[in-house]
Structure 1
Amino acid sequence: MFCEFNLENLENSSVELEKILEQSREEIKNLLAIENKTYKNFVLPFQEIGERINEFITPIFHIDSVKNSEITSKVYEECLPIISKYESEISQNENIYSALKYIQYNENNTLNSIQKKVLENEIRDFELSGCNLEKEKKQRLEELDLQLSELSHKFSQNLLKATNSYSLIIENFEDVKGIPDSDLELAKFVEDGKSKYKFTLHMPSYIAFMTYSTSREKREELYKAYTTRAPENGKIIEELLKLKEEKVKILGFSNFAQYSLATKMAKSEDEVIKFLEELGNKAKPKAIKEFEEIKELALKDGINDFRASDIAFYSEKLKKAQYDLDEEYYRPYFEQNSVLNGFFEFLYKMFNIKFTKVESKAWDEKVQVYNISENNQIIARIYIDLESRSDKRGGAWMNNWHSYYRTSDDKIKLPTAYIVGNFPQSTKDIPSLLRHSDVVTLFHEMGHALHHLLSKVDEPFVSGISGVAWDVVEFPSQFLEYFSYDKDVLKLFAKHYKTGEVLDDEAINRLIKARNFQSSMATVRQIEFALFDFKLYQELYKKEEQIQKLLDEVREKFAVIIPPSYNKFQNGFSHIFAGGYSAGYYSYKWAEVLSADAFYMFIESGNIFNQELGLKYKECVLSKGGSYNMDKLFYNFAKREPKVDSLLKIDGII
């Protein structure tokens, strides 16, 4: 039913990959030799060839992110040029392109709308790959794609190495006495008979120190280490921008931002800039007020030279003062397994899906594997890897492995996916106790996973998250996030890990009220990232200094605090330099309009567990994957256009 996760033969992956690709080339050659090509005899098997390759390569690239070692990096670097060459070769194959065009024209009246969407997407992507260009330009595009893949991987590796290589050793207990016991326990070690504490640049450790350490100078020291990581990435960014510019000019676009929008829902560069600036301008006045409140609190401690490294510490103090909210108070109520089990109960109530834990091979002993069933029938599998490790890259993400689809011989293939987080570690004495922000992240990534796993689309190229426009791919993840702040949802899993006591109403209300704490500051921060990203790709910035100048200009307009000059945020901006968000970071806010509005429908219905509405959402949005444009799917669900005001209301901006 499911392929087991098995990388015992990892070292030989490049050899195996070559064999699979050679077989694929042969199969494609045979498809092209068919005289009377149809959707059934050409497009269906062509999709299956693509799926088979993805199914093989995904775990190899995945393992390099979750269990990084010299071997995984070596294998990644061996496989990357092989797969890049193959992908360039296929995407620039005029014969495949001509066959797809022929089928689109010839069968237009008999194909269903989903099959038409597959052809429309494929033909567009062939054209964006330079399929119509002369040989020299195609060859150059192939070289560029490989170089860009290698540079992105190098960017990511540099960041991981820099993160792993730094630690702040604290010997004076006064510098750590405000830090919660659970974090101190993880940081503590004994050297020469003396207790010391080690804090790192990995998120749980970094956040704990920046939020709770009373030592202002040590906070600055750790902040500086974090914001100056991987300075060599500055030159990689220059090279990435230069190569991307060359690539899109060959393809006939005026800049990379224009090229990026060719596969997105947003219609023009102006529309994106206008959307971001309008949102930023609406949030800025309140963001300034929120920042002034922090500075006033710091002033009481005699601090009149407020620094960026003070924000987390004084924000936490202010949150506690305003809402009597101490995130550490909640952690014993958010034990990882309790959260997962309650979350699964919620998903059953909403979408009629059941999670059953299974014994199945994975990449680490702490990975949990579940089968998902619907009406007593297994429909999908998910791997959940939540705890931070030194060999895991930072952040949280969902990775799709297999897609749901119907094969050419009429069999159903079931989907699989991975959810990865960097939550606090469990030890033999203490289980993994999450912060509420970790719970929010878990809901977010599960939203992505369900978008992929609940697909009922027969065509693999538009099933699950495949074929979904990048600027709306965050809609299902952000939508699910909102439920992590609901009282009735929280009561399903917010239980003290020692006593089993459910978190009381008063504590939950404080959490909900605090949801919009500094929401305007958070909005302008996202606008800063998104505008920097989008403008960066509107023209060619050749030098690190020019890139910094652009970031400074965006900050001048929207940031509430200007960070110190040593802060090189861009050198760690993996989303746009090592991920898929180049000229697309605006997508988070773009999709949030849809997610907030969809969630508002549940609020207005008066029942957060409105299963009728939940099943309608599952049917109209999740099950349809990328088979239709998201604006159409949203309209089918809501029976109206989305309203921006829902987002501004939920965020407390209006």
Structure 2
Amino acid sequence: MFKEFDLTDLENSKKRLEEILEDSKNKIDELLKIEEKSYKNFVKPYEEVGERLSDFITPIFHIDSVKNSEITQKVYEECLPLISNYETEVSQNDNIYRSLKVIQDKSYRSLNDIQKKVLENEIRDFELSGCHLNNEIKERLKEINLRLSELSHKFSQNLLNATNEYEMIIEDYEDVKEIPASDLEFAKFEEDGKTKYKFTLQMPSYLAYITYGSNRQRREEIYKAYSTRAPQNGKIIEEILSLKDEKVKILGFENYASYSLSTKMAKKEEEVINFLEELAKKGKDRALEEIEELKEYALKDGISDIKSFDLAYYSEKLKEEKYDIDEEYYRPYFEKTSVLNGFFSFLNKIFNVEFEEIKDAKAWDKDVLVCNIKENSKVFARIYIDLEAKKEKRGGAWMNNWHSHYVDMDGNKKLPTAYIVCNFPQSKEGVPSLLRHSDVVTLFHEMGHALHHLFSKVPEAFVSGIAGVAWDVVEFPSQFLEYFSYDKEVLKMFAKHYETGKVLDDEAIDKLIKARNFQSALSMLRQIEFALFDFKLHQKLYKTESEIQGLLDNIRDNYAVIKPPEYNKFQNGFAHIFAGGYAAGYYSYKWAEVLSADAFYMFIDSGKVFNKELAMKYKKAILEKGGSQDMDKLFYEFAQREPSVDSLLKIDGIIS
């Protein structure tokens, strides 16, 4: 039913990949010899060639992110040029492109809407890859694509190495006295008969000190280490931007931003800029009020010049004073296993699905939870959940799709699989993994992505699950599910004290909900700063590190309510756009958030968040249809209206 995750022969992956690629090329050559090509005899088997390759390569690239080692790096670096060259060759194969065009022209009336969407997407992507260009230019594009793959991996590896190299050792208890007990316990170690505390740039550890560290100099020390990581990435960024600019100009685009929009819901550059600037304009006054409130609060401590490294510390104190919120009070109620079990119950209640742990299933680590997902007692998907921070794991949180749901040439249904990876506080002997509520929100977010992929009922792999979904709306289902992590009824399903079993009381939950919009305008402006930097960075070629810094400084002058110190090189750690898929697409988070907020508002307007009828409608209209239709059409099918930006601003408490 499901392929097991098994990389026991990882070292020989290159040889096996070479065999699979050779076989794939031969199969494509055989398909191209068919005289009377049809969707059934050409597109379906061509689609399955891609699925077979994804089945093999996804775990190899995945293991390098979750269990990074010299061996995984070596295998990744051996396989990357092979897969990059193959994909470039296929995407530039004019014979495949022309075959798809012929099938589209000849069979259009007999094709169903999903098949038409597959052909429309594939033909567009072939054109975007330059398949119509001469061989010399294609060869240059191939070189560019390979180099870009290498650079993005190097960018990510530099960040991981820099994160793992840094340690801040503290001996004076006064400097750590405000840090929550569970974080402090994890940081504590004994050396030379003394108790000492170690903080690193791993996210749980970094957040613990930057949020609760009593010593301002120490806060700046760890903030500076974090914001100056991987300075060598500055030169990598220069090369990435130069190559992307060269690539899109070869393909006939004025800049990378316009190339990026050719596959997105937003269609014009000014549409994106206007959208971001409108949000910034509506949120800036509120953000200025929020920062003034924080400055006034910091004055109590004699801080008249609040800095970036003070924001988390004083924000946490102010939030605690305003809402009587103490993160440490909540964490015993968010024990990892309890949260997961309650989360599964919630998903069962609104979507009619069950999660069943498969204890003997193989995974990359003993702490990975593997579950089959059932609907009406029938298994339809599998998920791998890896939540705790580890030294060899890349930072952040993400969902990675492995297999897609589709129906093969023989009519057999293939079942989907996905991985969820997070970096939550580690369990330690005697202390389980206790999450912050923000970790709970992250879990809901990543599960939203996973459900979008796993709930698919689409029979074509090319547009099933998240495949074929426009990048600026792919965050819609993840952000939508996030909103439920603040609902009282949902929280009571899993917010139980890990020692006493006591459910988190109404008063504590109410405080959490009220605190949700604490500094929401500041948070929104920060996201807009990142999004504008990303998008404008790709509207023309910025050639040097100083030019790139100049653009970022200019955007901060207009939109940031507090300027970071000059040494802050945020861009060198902006993995979303330089090592992920978000180049000229970071605006997607806000673009999709409009859809997610508006969809969730329908539940609020219905008078009950646990509206099963509405949830099942959402499941059928959005999740089950994957990329088989454009999201604006699917959203209209669900909501029966266009999305409104005001729903987002209302939910965030920025307008009333």
TM-score by length of 2: 0.99
In the alignment, which residue of structure 2 is the partner of 1:81?
81
Over the aligned positions, Cα root-mean-square deviation in angstroms equals 0.4
Q: CA deviation at 1:315?
A: 0.1
In the alignment, which residue of structure 1 is the partner of 2:188?
188
Q: CA deviation at 1:184?
A: 0.8
Letter in 2 for 1:329: Y
Q: CA deviation at 1:304?
A: 1.0
Q: Does 1:200 align with 2:172?
A: no
Cα deviation 1:288-344 (Å, max 9, x = unaligned): 110111111111111112111000000000000100001111000000010001101
In the alignment, which residue of structure 2 is the partner of 1:551?
552
Partner of 2:469: helix, strand, or coil?
coil
| Structure 1 residues without counterparts, runs of 5 or longer | none
Q: Mapping of 1:285-434 within 5 angstroms?
A: 285-359=285-359, 360-434=361-435
Counterparts of 1:643 and 1:258, CA distance in 2: 25
In the alignment, which residue of structure 2 is the partner of 1:455?
456
In the alignment, which residue of structure 2 is the partner of 1:607?
608
In the alignment, which residue of structure 1 is the partner of 2:568?
567
Partner of 1:108: helix, strand, or coil?
helix
In the alignment, which residue of structure 1 is the partner of 2:259?
259
Letter in 1 for 2:586: Y
In the alignment, which residue of structure 2 is the partner of 1:472?
473
Letter in 2 for 1:33: K
Q: CA deviation at 1:536?
A: 0.1
Counterparts of 2:348 and 2:641, CA distance in 1: 27
Counterparts of 1:231 and 1:640, CA distance in 2: 47
Contact 2:181 2:328 in 1 (8 A): no
Counterparts of 2:525 and 2:305, CA distance in 1: 22
Counterparts of 2:472 and 2:116, CA distance in 1: 21
| Structure 2 residues without counterparts, runs of 5 or longer | none
In the alignment, which residue of structure 1 is the partner of 2:97?
97
The percentage of counterpart residues that share the same residue type is 72
Partner of 2:396: helix, strand, or coil?
coil
Letter in 1 for 2:238: E
Counterparts of 2:349 and 2:471, CA distance in 1: 29
Q: CA deviation at 1:607?
A: 1.6
Counterparts of 1:300 and 1:428, CA distance in 2: 39
Counterparts of 2:253 and 2:561, CA distance in 1: 35
Cα deviation 1:601-631 (Å, max 9, x = unaligned): 0111112111111111000000000000000
Counterparts of 1:106 and 1:305, CA distance in 2: 70
Partner of 1:83: helix, strand, or coil?
helix
Counterparts of 1:589 and 1:539, CA distance in 2: 22
Counterparts of 2:109 and 2:8, CA distance in 1: 49
In the alignment, which residue of structure 1 is the partner of 2:441?
440
Letter in 1 for 2:541: L
Counterparts of 1:647 and 1:413, CA distance in 2: 37
Counterparts of 1:74 and 1:289, CA distance in 2: 51
Counterparts of 2:432 and 2:636, CA distance in 1: 44
Q: Mapping of 1:10-21 within 5 angstroms?
A: 10-21=10-21
In the alignment, which residue of structure 1 is the partner of 2:634?
633
Q: Does 1:178 align with 2:195?
A: no
Partner of 1:264: helix, strand, or coil?
coil
Cα deviation 1:153-208 (Å, max 9, x = unaligned): 00000000000000000011110011011111111111111110000001000000
Counterparts of 1:543 and 1:592, CA distance in 2: 33
In the alignment, which residue of structure 1 is the partner of 2:509?
508
Counterparts of 1:158 and 1:510, CA distance in 2: 40
In the alignment, which residue of structure 2 is the partner of 1:152?
152
Letter in 2 for 1:8: T
Q: CA deviation at 1:242?
A: 0.3
Counterparts of 1:213 and 1:593, CA distance in 2: 35
Counterparts of 1:369 and 1:94, CA distance in 2: 42
Letter in 2 for 1:476: P
Partner of 1:301: helix, strand, or coil?
coil
Counterparts of 1:113 and 1:284, CA distance in 2: 44
Partner of 2:190: helix, strand, or coil?
strand
Counterparts of 1:611 and 1:278, CA distance in 2: 34
Counterparts of 1:189 and 1:345, CA distance in 2: 38
Counterparts of 1:45 and 1:244, CA distance in 2: 32
Q: Mapping of 1:533-544 within 5 angstroms?
A: 533-544=534-545
In the alignment, which residue of structure 2 is the partner of 1:595?
596
Cα deviation 1:41-95 (Å, max 9, x = unaligned): 0000000000100110000000000000000000000000000000010000000
Contact 2:474 2:592 in 1 (8 A): yes
In the alignment, which residue of structure 1 is the partner of 2:115?
115
Letter in 2 for 1:125: D
In the alignment, which residue of structure 2 is the partner of 1:32?
32
Counterparts of 2:17 and 2:434, CA distance in 1: 40
Counterparts of 1:355 and 1:33, CA distance in 2: 45
Partner of 2:169: helix, strand, or coil?
strand
Partner of 2:110: helix, strand, or coil?
coil
Counterparts of 1:604 and 1:362, CA distance in 2: 42
TM-score by length of 1: 1.00
Partner of 1:624: helix, strand, or coil?
coil
Counterparts of 1:345 and 1:610, CA distance in 2: 15
Counterparts of 2:611 and 2:308, CA distance in 1: 43
Partner of 1:503: helix, strand, or coil?
coil
In the alignment, which residue of structure 2 is the partner of 1:617?
618
Counterparts of 1:348 and 1:197, CA distance in 2: 42
In the alignment, which residue of structure 2 is the partner of 1:278?
278
Cα deviation 1:485-533 (Å, max 9, x = unaligned): 0000000000000000000000000000000000000000000000000
